[in-house]
Amino acid sequence: MVDSIVERRTNRLVVDRRRKHGEVVSGNITWTETKVTPAERAQLLGHEASTIWLTGLSGSGKSTIAYELEKQLIWMGHVAYTLDGDNIRFGLSRDLSFAPEDRTENIRRIAEVCKLFNDAGILVVTAFISPYRVDRAMAREIVGADRFIETHLATAIEVCEERDPKGLYKKARAGAISDFTGISAPYESPENPSLLVDTSRMSVLESVSEIMRVVTPRFRQE
């Protein structure tokens, strides 16, 4: 149950004891089918819709790689869009904290957005720590296993902490951030990812090339 949330702009505590995250409360609704098939959209856009789901520690390079990948996909003539962890929390998930249940809700919302984008025929790249296996399994189920390409940026925490591009590890070590993945909250590595990239061994461009090499055959239509 959501007891309270901190309203981000004002830092005001808003109490909401009405419902659980993701609880189904809509009634009297009926699904209406589109008249356009996935194959028609794929033919129009030149690719099958997919979700390239990047997971890894803070500082592993998810945002850096996602936006480079998105740029290259666009240059190749694909319709691609990145959903980024921090960016999403400026809007869609602004009401969510980093507590486990809020992370789960965050991933549920993102997965639903991926599904909508994929239904529209768009390639999606996501950049979320998504530390819990069960949450990534939920995302895979929502998006659809055939469209979900799990990519683990398996960079060691020592390297991520050394990079510390946002100064977050420093703050977390000083106790200024709670629920920080790798320090005060767990990261559960994927057991069987489609792809594993160690960004301490490969440059950004090499990492993107490696991802391209593995993922393009899965969505490209010749």
Ligand X SMILES: Nc1ncnc2c1ncn2[C@@H]1O[C@H](COP(=O)(O)OP(=O)(O)OP(=O)(O)O)[C@@H](O)[C@H]1O
Positions touching Mg ion (CB under 5 A) are 62-63, 85
Residue 61 binds to ligand X (criterion: CB under 6 A)? yes
Question: Which of the residues 62 through 121 are near ligand X (CB under 6 A)?
Answer: 62-65, 85-86
Residue 199 binds to ligand X (criterion: CB under 6 A)? yes
Residue 60 binds to ligand X (criterion: CB under 6 A)? yes
Residue with tokens 């996602």: 66
Residue 126 binds to ligand X (criterion: CB under 6 A)? no
Residue 121 or 182: the one with the smaller Cβ distance to Mg ion is 182
Note the Cα 160 to chain centre separation in Å: 18
Q: Which listed range, 8-16, 54-62, 91-99, 113-121, lies at the site for ligand X (CB under 6 A)?
A: 54-62
Residue 85 or 190: the one with the smaller Cβ distance to Mg ion is 85
Q: Min. distance of Cβ 66 from ligand X in angstroms?
A: 8
Annotated active-site residue 130? The verdict is yes
Query: Alpha-carbon distance 53 to 50, whole Å?
Result: 9
Q: How far is CA 40 from CA 4, 16, 37, 70, 161, in A?
A: 45, 44, 5, 23, 46
59 phi-psi bin (left φ>0, alpha ψ -120 to 50, beta other): left
72 phi-psi bin (left φ>0, alpha ψ -120 to 50, beta other): alpha
Residue among 50, 63, 97, 130 flagged as catalytic: 130
Q: Min. distance of Cβ 13 from ligand X in angstroms?
A: 25
Residue 21 binds to ligand X (criterion: CB under 6 A)? no
Question: What are the residues facing 21 on neighbouring strands?
Answer: none
Residue 154 binds to ligand X (criterion: CB under 6 A)? no
Identify the burial level of 164 via C-beta atoms within 10 angstroms of its C-beta, where 0-12 means exposed, 13-18 middle and 19 or more buried: middle
- Cα of first residue to Cα of last residue in the chain, in angstroms, is 49
**Amino acid at position 20, single letter:** K
Query: Alpha-carbon distance 39 to 37, whole Å?
Result: 5
Q: Binding residue for ligand X (CB under 6 A) from 11, 30, 37, 203?
A: 203
Q: Which listed range, 72-80, 88-96, 115-123, 203-211, lies at the site for ligand X (CB under 6 A)?
A: 203-211
DSSP SS3 for 83: strand
Q: Which of Mg ion, ligand X, none does residue 165 bind to, with CB < 5 to 8 Å depending on kind?
A: ligand X
Active-site residue set: 130
Give the binding site for ligand X (CB under 6 A): 56, 58-65, 85-86, 127, 129, 163, 165-166, 199, 202-204, 207
